Amino acid sequence: MPASDIEILREKSSDYLTEAKRLVQEGKWDLSMIAIHQHCELLLKYYALKLNGSYPRTHSLRELIRMLVKHKKELNDLVNNEHNILKLARPDDAYISSRYFPVRALKEDAVPLLRFVEDVFDGYFSGL
């Protein structure tokens, strides 16, 4: 895949983060959770393409990170930290439940998750 095509994933990931912030400001918790998940998923798939040339056909953030650990050992800290792995389960759960179950996200879900993604998750990928 050409490098320019791969960069599209990074741009889309950034756009989803911007959208997640806007949705949080508007109090649209369900949609913000989906946008957070999309940001993380596309960022992980971007790095998987850069490092591995492909990525698994999954929406699971934890599965994508575990695949990337094979290429970047420093990501072990992200998945081996109990707090982090529990936080990463939230967007996965929100992605599935928003599509298949009549469940609503709350402010208490979306705001801390957005903060975690910006402060912790994205930090692991800034130097890759």
Distance of alpha carbon 2 from alpha carbon 9, whole angstroms: 12
pLDDT at res. 34: 93
Q: Tell me the domains of the chain and their CATH numbers.
A: 3-125 (1.20.120.330)
Q: Which of 71, 69, 90 is nearest to 80 (CA)?
A: 69
Distance of alpha carbon 6 from alpha carbon 127, whole angstroms: 17
Cα-based distances in Å from 117 to 4, 54, 56, 112, 120: 25, 23, 22, 9, 6
Helix (H) / strand (E) element for 79: namely helix 76-80
Residues of the chain with pLDDT under 70: 1-2, 127-128
This prediction's pTM: 0.91
Burial 52-72 (b: 16+ CB within 10 A, else e): eeebeeebbbbebbebbeeeb
pLDDT in tens, 68-103: 988 888 888 888 888 888 888 888 888 888 778 888
pLDDT at res. 97: 84
pLDDT at res. 64: 92
